């Protein structure tokens, strides 16, 4: 009898476990979907969900429109098309490998990894905006697989946004033909559309639409900085993580491109393509768009970005959201650098009355020293940018956390690779065995077997998920991460297996960058 009771209890337990996750079909506002289990028990994934209508034909170069509804149950076990992009300029683009989804203008799809037991769980939601210079990338890249991050208790969403000239092209004819008297920032509009989809649908997948964090790297981080400044994104997210980038780019900027400037470039390119009207532009083949038109990047469009975000942040008009921001120790991915004489000449032109202090902090007696200092300046500048970003949010009463990623990814039998631009991504997603975003000297195979790398990856995924949950990255069994406390100190977490072996950029360096920025702002 006892044995039978025990067997019955086990059967009931197994049944409860089988039911204790989001099951098919899931009803969205556009129809029902069927997902799939991942390799991790309790984590389900729903792929290729349309969050907007295909931006093709008359919808090319328009704000994203609502996705059409469907009947029956839609298969959500395969990724949707990726947006049109180049194969990689002199290197591999991991978004367009042989087994990647096909490229198409019809590419506005997102993917959801959920650890929820039921639709009532109200888990924190993390929406990822990928990097790639606004010209390449996709939410389907294996590096961005959300399974391991979802194991930390957050729902993970990845998405596609229009790239290159499809996502960031401005022309007076398109502006005149729009409902917003604007053109250009279509990729940002896609990001906003994905966030509106989250507001409308994530509850069905166990998420809390009132607890949404956006996170992104490089171009994705730049977009996030601009969305934090944008009135169009108010109420769509509570927290933001910018990895190596902000509205200024990767370093100090005198100002964002204007719509007028983008118009001028757009007219020249469209004229060369033989198109001068909105209808003629939309009639161009996709190949002709790629051949003749270029991305203008983010711009002050009077719509999503109504003014230069630097002005928005300086005036405290940005969205009141918590931020976690930072940079990598070896951000520079440009080989070589200026010689000693050129380094000093550039410094005097850029730093003005702060030039002597700058030159005293960066050795440049030889060409080798100058090249090394140039690379260090780039990384320190990216850290400074994250720091001022954090301070702007702190000044309006929000939580702000700053980091310095210094872990050197494993190089296998060779030397470890420096913590360069994008090196943190396998750690954030806890996907050490995947190909890195940019080919480098690290080894995904050996990093996946490295205990120090595994430690940092587990810590970083925990920090990111904790921040998404509460606005504070700290948690049990994690090294303490000090909150950013202001511009008189350098408060930051050093993300490294041995943080005591690393040091942050000094307060003296940060103050020199502060002076340069003040001078730049006053000149404008």
331 in catalytic set: yes
In the set 331, 344, 374, 410, the catalytic residue is: 331
218 in catalytic set: yes
In the set 171, 263, 364, 421, the catalytic residue is: 421
Q: Which helix (H) or strand (E) holds 383?
A: helix 367-395
In the set 194, 203, 218, 386, the catalytic residue is: 218
**Mapping DSSP to helix (H, G, I), strand (E, B) and coil, where does residue 500 land?**
helix
Q: For residue 182, give every residue at least 6 positions away whose Cβ sits within 8 Å of its Cβ, in sequence order, or none.
A: 175, 259, 301, 302, 303, 304
Q: Helix 507-523 to helix 340-351 angle, to the nearest 10 degrees?
A: 60
Contact 236, 192 (CB under 8 A): yes
Residue 240 β-bridge partners: 214, 323
Location of structure tokens 């949950």: 469
Q: For residue 230, give every residue at least 6 positions away whose Cβ sits within 8 Å of its Cβ, in sequence order, or none.
A: 188, 304, 305, 306, 319
Q: For residue 448, give every residue at least 6 positions away whose Cβ sits within 8 Å of its Cβ, in sequence order, or none.
A: 432, 433, 454
Q: For residue 401, give every residue at least 6 positions away whose Cβ sits within 8 Å of its Cβ, in sequence order, or none.
A: 323, 324, 325, 390, 467, 472, 473, 481, 483, 484, 493
CA 438, 443, 449: angle at the middle one, nearest 5? 135
CA atoms of 389 and 351, how far apart (whole Å): 20
Q: 198 phi and psi, to 5 degrees?
A: -60, -45
Contact 128, 220 (CB under 8 A): yes
Contact 75, 90 (CB under 8 A): no
Active site residues: 218, 331, 421
């Amino acid at each position: 009898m006892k044995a039978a009771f025990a067997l019955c209890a086990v059967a009931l337990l197994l049944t409860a476990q089988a039911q204790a996750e989001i099951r098919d079909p899931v009803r969205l506002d556009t129809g029902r979907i069927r997902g799939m289990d991942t390799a991790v028990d309790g984590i389900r994934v729903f792929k290729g969900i349309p969050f907007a209508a295909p931006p093709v034909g008359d919808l090319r170069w328009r704000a994203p429109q609502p996705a059409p509804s469907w009947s029956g149950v839609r298969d959500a076990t395969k990724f949707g098309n990726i947006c049109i992009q180049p194969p990689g300029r002199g290197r591999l683009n991991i978004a367009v490998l042989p087994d990647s989804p096909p490229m198409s203008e019809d590419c506005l799809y997102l993917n959801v990894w959920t650890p929820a037991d039921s639709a009532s769980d109200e888990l924190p939601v993390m929406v990822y905006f990928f990097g790639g210079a606004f010209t390449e990338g996709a939410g389907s890249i294996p590096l961005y697989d959300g399974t391991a991050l979802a194991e930390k208790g957050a729902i993970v969403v990845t998405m596609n946004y229009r790239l290159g000239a499809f996502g960031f092209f401005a022309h007076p004819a398109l502006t005149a033909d729009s409902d917003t008297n604007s053109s250009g920032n279509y990729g940002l509009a896609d990001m906003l559309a994905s966030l509106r989809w989250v507001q409308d649908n994530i509850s069905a997948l166990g998420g809390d639409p009132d607890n949404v964090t956006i996170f992104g790297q490089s171009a994705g981080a730049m977009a996030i900085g601009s969305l934090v400044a944008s009135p169009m994104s108010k109420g769509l997210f509570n927290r933001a993580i910018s990895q190596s980038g902000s509205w200024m780019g990767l370093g100090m900027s005198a100002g964002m491109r204007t719509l007028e400037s983008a118009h001028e470039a757009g007219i020249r390119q469209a004229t060369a393509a033989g198109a001068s009207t909105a209808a003629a532009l939309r009639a161009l083949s996709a190949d002709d768009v790629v051949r003749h038109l270029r991305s203008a990047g983010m711009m002050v469009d009077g719509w999503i970005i109504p003014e230069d975000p630097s002005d928005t942040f300086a005036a405290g008009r940005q969205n009141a959201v918590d931020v976690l921001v930072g940079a990598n120790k070896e951000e520079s991915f440009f080989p070589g650098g200026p010689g000693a004489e050129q380094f000093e000449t550039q410094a005097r032109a850029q730093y003005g009355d702060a030039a002597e202090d700058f030159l005293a902090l960066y050795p440049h007696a030889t060409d080798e020293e100058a090249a090394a200092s140039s690379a260090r300046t780039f990384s320190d500048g990216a850290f400074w940018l994250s720091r001022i970003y954090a301070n702007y949010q702190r000044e309006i009463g929000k939580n702000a956390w700053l980091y310095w990623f210094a872990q050197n990814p494993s190089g296998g039998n060779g030397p470890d690779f420096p913590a360069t631009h994008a090196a943190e991504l396998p750690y954030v997603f806890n996907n050490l065995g995947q190909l890195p975003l940019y080919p480098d000297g690290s080894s995904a195979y050996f990093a996946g077997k490295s205990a120090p790398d595994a430690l940092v990856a587990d810590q970083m995924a925990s920090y990111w998920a904790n921040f998404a949950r509460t606005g504070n990255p700290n948690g049990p069994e994690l090294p303490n991460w000090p909150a950013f406390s202001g511009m008189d100190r350098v408060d930051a977490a050093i993300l490294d297996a041995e943080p005591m072996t690393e040091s942050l950029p000094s307060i003296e360096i940060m103050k020199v960058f502060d002076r340069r920025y003040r001078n730049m702002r006053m000149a404008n």
